[in-house]
Structure 1
């Protein structure tokens, strides 16, 4: 079984804690990291318990990072900032009444294992840990330690800042990309956010081991305004809410943004190569995602250069093109 596995969706009941622990332990053993299983199981129990008690559905767990430095991530739909161990915990002193909202009793022992101990136990089971907040909710993560320690690793909250400002006073070029498939476009936005978080957390937790991750994280961050504000993400969200399968996106682009988008296309190919070689534990793009993203980025750059539009419908049936000029994966992340 491949190490690059999609996230595991968890149910609303405490059984989800047991399922998450077993799934994470299985993934670590699969990659030969038996040394991390104990700390990973304990930290996972705490994060999933917190998500069940204080987060919002849907809740999922996954493995990110690399085989050398795997990372446990628990996502829920709440954007509420988690309380770090060094901060006053408003939930301190809660009793078992807090369990009333959980469905079923199967797996309750797993919930009670960590209930009430806060995120301090995660900090002791981790080399590094924190939370990353985005528009879809939050991911609370940790890189498991080889053993449970007495000292608590310092948690870090990321992702709360707004989009990067526009560069200078340059007036953007405005153009229209017609008949964009809404579902494919929103999948592109989600993939970018997930990849940006991946390299950001890899740089945050292990910058010395992966210096390129910091460079990639900075570049992805510089594209935040472009992808969220300038390439029509809000328009696509409105089209989805209205039930429209396609929509015309009015976008704007500056010269600096054009160069960044060209580089983004190369980096998406590079990230896929890492995933397929299992150097990153993320899931690579599907051929359909790759085909659409190549068309959309190329279409924006074509029109910005004054060339004519090429409709998605005319190439949608073609197989995804292979990477052009893809750098060697061996020159990468380490």
Structure 2
């Protein structure tokens, strides 16, 4: 895992938050589709259409894990998107803190187990943090900076 150099909950004065949004979803498979589509639209609306597809895929994988492995009856999962000057942060939280996700080494015949490998391949950093109830899986995508002109 590549962890952020500091606790991502502590604001970095050199990387101010520009946008922040969170949505709670019922733990049903159709919510994964809703979260994925909302993420792509929001990231593009925030001015980063080049990141929208990666963000959409990451949310899809993390939300699916929250529904399959982190759901508790009567509890929702949350998707939070935070845009800073340098990063797009995606965090998906659910109510089961005892089920910490770990990348697996699936065989070619395995039907599951590739989601975190995809997340890890796309993310600049990712990790898991405990919450009072449950856990949060977070991912950071770096914002590409335009090259300086002549």
1:163 — aligned with what?
none
**CA distance in structure 2 between the partners assigned to 1:43 and 1:123 by the alignment:** 9
After superposition, give the CA deviation of every residue in 1:98-151 in whole Å (9 maximum; x if it has no partner). Answer: xxxxxxxxxxxxxxxxx54131110011111111112121111111367xxxxx
**CA distance in structure 2 between the partners assigned to 1:131 and 1:64 by the alignment:** 16
- Whether 1:30 aligns to 2:55 is no
- Whether 1:126 aligns to 2:123 is yes
Higher relative contact order (CA 8 A, sep 6+): 2
**What secondary structure sits across from 2:124 in the alignment?**
strand
What's the TM-score once normalised by structure 1's chain length?
0.33
Higher helix share: 1
- Structure 2: gaps spanning 5 or more residues: 1-17, 144-150
Which stretches of structure 1, 4 residues or longer, exceed 6 Å deviation after superposition? Answer: none
Matching of residues 266-281 of structure 1 within 5 Å: none
- Whether 1:59 aligns to 2:77 is yes
**What secondary structure sits across from 1:73 in the alignment?**
strand
**What secondary structure sits across from 2:43 in the alignment?**
helix
Give the conservation status (yes or no) of the 8 Å contact 2:36–2:60: yes
Give the conservation status (yes or no) of the 8 Å contact 2:88–2:142: no
Give the conservation status (yes or no) of the 8 Å contact 2:19–2:82: no
- Whether 1:74 aligns to 2:72 is no
Give the conservation status (yes or no) of the 8 Å contact 1:129–1:141: yes
- Structure 1: gaps spanning 5 or more residues: 96-114, 147-334
**What secondary structure sits across from 2:60 in the alignment?**
helix
After superposition, give the CA deviation of every residue in 1:64-113 in whole Å (9 maximum; x if it has no partner). Answer: 2514311011110111242322x678xx94x6xxxxxxxxxxxxxxxxxx
RMSD after superposition: 2.6
- Whether 1:42 aligns to 2:57 is yes
**CA distance in structure 2 between the partners assigned to 1:20 and 1:144 by the alignment:** 18
1:238 — aligned with what?
none
**What secondary structure sits across from 1:119 in the alignment?**
helix
Higher strand share: 2
**CA distance in structure 1 between the partners assigned to 2:132 and 2:80 by the alignment:** 19
After superposition, give the CA deviation of every residue in 1:295-323 in whole Å (9 maximum; x if it has no partner). Answer: xxxxxxxxxxxxxxxxxxxxxxxxxxxxx
**CA distance in structure 2 between the partners assigned to 1:77 and 1:125 by the alignment:** 25
Residue-pair matches, total: 122
2:32 — aligned with what?
17
Query: Which of the two has higher C-alpha Rg?
Result: 1
**CA distance in structure 2 between the partners assigned to 1:23 and 1:72 by the alignment:** 13
Give the conservation status (yes or no) of the 8 Å contact 1:64–1:72: yes
Change (3 A) 1:67 1:34: farther
2:20 — aligned with what?
4
Give the conservation status (yes or no) of the 8 Å contact 2:19–2:84: no
